[in-house]
Chains A and B, each alone.
Chain A
């Protein structure tokens, strides 16, 4: 099967089984999924539903046990470590729950980690301005609040102008107010850079900012719905 060209990411009948000692744990059990250009998709599900596993596979951090994955029509299934690294390097932006900034580098330098190796990146300053941190360039992570750290992480993820932005519980470690601020930045990046974005959350109200909501349960897609009117991130409440 060739995926439709307008799709950035697609996967078909994805399975992932972890072996934990004597037992096999099925994390994904036949997932079909697609992410279109410019689309903002929210993936919801309870803890253990398989959403992180799916995101890891889509981002080239992990490989499926079975099934096929496509990026812009090219099959990633069976790619070796080198190819997956190249895929991540060129096309994928990651935002982690715990930011994962390098503590010994300033905000600007953390973004430069990406711009140093990307082909046509934004300037680190530009990326940081985009997330509203143009005045915090030379602060070290320890000198930034949680929300600011997460915004640096977003700037770092988008600085390479990725084709796809994958965010794993980006507000998980943040309070409500800061969380809204971070979601606002993600929304703006999606809108202004037209980056296909997938946000994982166990926080149901966040789904309202999406174009489409996919709910995972026990490793399967339980439901999928299109949102008629995307709510601005600033209007969300939980």
Chain B
């Protein structure tokens, strides 16, 4: 079959423009891939979560008490809106695992006699659930089992009610309650040292003297029930039993972290593909615009021959579909691959029974629609020029390109630049919009690199600048129950200890007017040196007031309080004392919603004699291990934490994830920069080859004409770098606003080496593409070019 002549023209145009088409297709593919990978990861995570929560009956409400009689469960069940109630026993225990320098901790949860809880059902990965007739069987959360290579049949040592027991692992499980398993208060999850264990309730009840009672309850709500009303009802009912307040799913720690991660991912999924698609649209417009300008006479002739505007427009849009098709196909394939990598990162972080990257037809369709719209939008402006070109144009010879002395000339730059420099400046000034958009495209790519890396910088700044300045202890010793302040003195005198300071943490509910938040009051010694209050980003120290309280700035904003206001603090334990301290200031911290006061004020709150819940220690270098070891042997100590260790682990975990992100963002950004510079250079070369060849004939060297050709590009890159660095920072700030402000408020910090790295990537990609085009300059056919008519 013979192809229509116009189709042949299209194919030959494509062959001639292959370099440009490939680079645009790559940028477009980058956009499609990012959209599919990021959006698909969001969808996959959301679907996996919804299915998991639903199938495994994830609870809607969670509450803890000191001890409550089992009969209470039936009363809770009668509350309006409550569907199912599951009581249980929940205790934190230590696991002195062999080969682990420090013991691991476990949340030990009871399973009902039936084995299958009404809420938060377990997914058995290996083995089975513990049986009622045996009191030494446990099921282990999969992350801990994997970290220690535990299988059904193995044993784990557990300190149960003061006695060391060897428990037999009968099952390895997953739970919707522990998709992200983190020890409360920890900086980061640690599968080596944090476990969740399930065992039969009666065995657990006898170990903790909780026969006929429970200390933890979870509920599922009826469809359409009001969570707020149920929470109030549960709180009222549990208050006499030492509850510290029921929470909904939004504040359940695993779900909260998962939700926060999802909202960050959604933010990125909305932002990143836009850069690619915007650049692809711009490149499409630029290249097609140039093609149409070059073929002006041909277009007019086609129209004079009798081709309709529609046929001419369709012909040029055909070029778009040729860019679109491979771009979209590669993009979909790349998105699928990239999506699997990203979901792979999440399977290391979050424990779902079935988490796999799913690429739905609807997702692919919307990716194609969005990328198609971007390409067509870019092309349409250029094609409109072709459609509107009057056919009578074909009769007229083209007029020479219009140049004028521009602003750059007028401010005297031209005089400094010499003739070659003037050519560069006037070319830039003649196309201010193209220059601006090119710079913006490159800047967007630079910003993407920064966006891919600023999280690590901000984390590093938090760890080094803030955390190390706030927390100057070597070890933090936490006690099972608050201890007498005398212990602080005893620890201070212990061998190897340089300084010891007591800290008291009390859970409270803070109220101001109708606004309320659960928080913790931290009592610190007035002249303490180990725990400092530091402004965000590691600024200056904030002194602790003798009287009144300091609020974390965000808590102050949530409660709408000013300095001098009084807030209601209700202790969420013991006899629920209520105090109304005055707010004397704010401290701008990165994490949490804490209230700070002196130890004396907290003692008043609890009506005890200044008991402390933990002690911070500074230890002589070299004696850290000995001091830590001795403390661990005390039955009153629940945890000894080494801040340096936590920080290192956080760095390690982030480094491995960030390496992948950095590789992805750098390669994608480099493809954008290469695409922009390459296309600009090709167009400059094509539109000016006659001029450049003339200059060669006049005696200019290759080097000199290269300067003229690439000077404009260098200027665009030079403009793009500061803009990109600024844009990266602005996007970082925008991204941070998507992060749950009540959990983290890291200052957006971008390290100098991230800036220089991003700029270096831009320079390298630009230089590579300019050199690529320069090869054509070296092959410039002087006689041929001069003979052809523009």
Contact = CB atoms under 8 A, between A and B. Distances in A.
B395 A113 contact: no
B5 A85 contact: no
Nearest to B391: A61
A55 B394 CA distance: 12
Contacts of A160: 306
Given A61-B391, A85-B306, A104-B12, 6 more contacts: A61-B304, A89-B308, A98-B397, A102-B298, A104-B8, A104-B13
A61 B390 contact: yes
A102 B306 contact: no
Interface residues of A, number: 36
A105 B4 CA distance: 11
B301 interface: yes
Interface string A157-179: 00010000000100000000000
B390 A62 contact: yes
Contacts of A59: 304
B297 A98 contact: yes
B16 interface: yes
A11 B569 CA distance: 97
A101 B788 CA distance: 13
A146 to B, nearest CB: 10
Interface of B: 2, 4-6, 8-9, 12-13, 16, 295, 297-298, 300-309, 311, 390-392, 394-395, 397, 788-789
A17 B4 CA distance: 39
A80 B606 CA distance: 91
Contacts of B395: 52, 55-56, 61, 96-97, 168
A156 interface: yes
Contacts of A56: 392, 395
Contact of A88 (B8, B298, B305, B397): B305
Given A102-B9, A105-B9, A117 B16 contact: no
Contacts of B307: 85, 89, 113, 117
B405 to A, nearest CB: 21
Interface centre among A55, A56, A90, A101, by most chain B C-beta atoms within 10 angstroms, is A56
A101 B300 CA distance: 10
A112 interface: yes
Interface centre among A55, A61, A102, by most chain B C-beta atoms within 10 angstroms, is A102
Nearest to B302: A113
Contacts of A110: 5
Contact of A100 (B300, B308, B309): B300
A118 B304 CA distance: 13
A109 B300 contact: no
Contacts of B305: 88-89, 94, 113-114, 117, 156
A100 B5 contact: no
A220 to B, nearest CB: 21
Contacts of B304: 59, 61, 88, 92, 94, 96, 100
B12 A81 contact: no
Interface in A179-229: none
Grouping DSSP codes into helix (H, G, I), strand (E, B) and loop, the B interface class, with mixed when no group exceeds half, is helix
28 contacts: A61-B304, A61-B390, A62-B390, A88-B304, A88-B306, A89-B305, A89-B308, A92-B304, A94-B301, A96-B304, A98-B789, A100-B300, A100-B301, A100-B304, A100-B394, A101-B298, A102-B5, A102-B9, A102-B301, A104-B9, A104-B13, A105-B5, A105-B8, A109-B8, A112-B5, A113-B305, A114-B305, A117-B306
Given A88-B304, A89-B306, A102-B298, A116 B5 contact: yes
A8 to B, nearest CB: 17
A98 B300 CA distance: 12
A103 B298 contact: yes
Interface string A54-67: 01100101100000
A112 B6 CA distance: 9
Nearest to B15: A104
Contacts of B394: 61, 94, 96, 100
A142 interface: yes
A62 B391 CA distance: 8
A82 interface: yes
A100 B297 contact: yes
A85 B397 contact: no
A35 B584 CA distance: 100
Interface string A115-147: 011100000000000000000000000100000
A58 to B, nearest CB: 12
**Which 7 pairs from chain A and chain B are nearest by CB?**
A89-B306, A100-B301, A104-B12, A112-B5, A88-B306, A61-B392, A113-B5
Given A97-B395, A100-B300, A92 B306 contact: yes
Interface centre among B2, B295, B298, B789, by most chain A C-beta atoms within 10 angstroms, is B298
A62 B298 contact: no
Given A89-B306, A98-B789, A104-B9, A62 B392 contact: yes
A110 B789 CA distance: 19
Nearest to B298: A102
A174 B390 CA distance: 26
Contacts of B397: 98
Contacts of A104: 8-9, 12-13, 16
Contact of A82 (B301, B308, B390, B391): B308
A95 to B, nearest CB: 10
A102 to B, nearest CB: 5
A189 B2 CA distance: 27
Given A59-B304, A88-B305, A89-B305, A116 B392 contact: no
Nearest to B7: A116
Contact of A142 (B298, B308, B788): B788
A113 B297 CA distance: 15
A195 B788 CA distance: 33
A81 B303 CA distance: 11
A204 B302 CA distance: 30
Contacts of A90: 306
A187 to B, nearest CB: 22
